[in-house]
Amino acid sequence: MPERTVTHHTVIDHDVFDLPAPDGTPLAVHHWSPADPAAAVFYLHGIQSHAGWLFETGPALAERGVRVYAVDRRGSGRSGGTRGDLADARTVLDDYALAFAHVRDRSPELPFTVVGQSLGGSVLAALLARGDLRAADAFVFCAPALGQQRARHGADGLGALRALTGTERVPVPLADEDYTDGRAYLAFMANDHLMLRQTTLRTRAAMVAFEDGYAAAPGPVTRRPVHLAVPQSDPIIDLGAARAVLARLAPQSVERSFPVRRHFLEFTEARTAYWSWLVEVALRDSCPAGSVAP
């Protein structure tokens, strides 16, 4: 693809609109945009985060010419649904497939890069395995939770997790310091009432089901450009396991490592470099859907 110059653009104010899910649950879609976007990003967030965590990332990408859409997963952020509860994987995948189709139709002229961060990376892989993202042009897996359930649990453990059906709440066993060591970001997280601190038991079953969807894929799930963005080391993600899964699903993937040791790149000192890199991916590596087989 030809090189494009990254320039600064006038940013339209951040807005949030509700999109009804297939079952009627309102999904909050966050949107940032310059007046004259050259590309778009569709962002899938992690287990504890929500689209509000893009309070710097959204404007930063928009200032560089990229329109951003980020959906709060049902039960997270400003979306409807029981807090921290994923009744099953298919419902979540259907939500994201509908939301992507909606925003794609809103910006038909723009190349779209889909970004999956942490658990969002596992969801992204499951969507690709289902064939839901054929209208996307490129994909970014950011510190993705690919194959993490299989890396941590044997066959018996996975079977036990799949059998979980209850709505009893359990803590998310992660420390805020796993995400960032920045004082301002830690203070933000400590006061973020939308950050998930607990999930239901059946949410754990859904997390395994996301993996089952792409573990069953017989081969690569896309031929389009795929990128892996990771910290130098990650206290949450087994990066070796994630790399192995992505190598099978997208052998053409290209890795970019950032010299930090926390999970959420956007809340580290590498954030500006990450934003610049992501803009380059969205502007340069995207190609019109249909010019490369899905």
Tens of pLDDT along 29-78? 999 999 999 999 999 999 999 999 999 999 999 999 999 999 999 999 99
Domains and CATH numbers, the chain: 11-285 (3.40.50.1820)
pLDDT at 256: 99
Taking only the tens place, the pLDDT of each residue in 7-29 is 555 656 689 999 999 999 999 99
Give pLDDT tens digits for 110-152: 999 999 999 999 999 999 999 999 999 999 999 999 999 999 9
Q: Nearest Cα to 250, choosing from 224, 268, 270?
A: 224
Q: What is the pLDDT of residues 187-244, one digit of tens each?
A: 999 999 999 999 999 999 999 999 999 999 999 999 999 999 999 999 999 999 999 9
| Residue 201 pLDDT | 98
On whether the CB atoms of residues 243 and 255 are closer than 8 A, the answer is yes
pLDDT reported for residue 174: 98
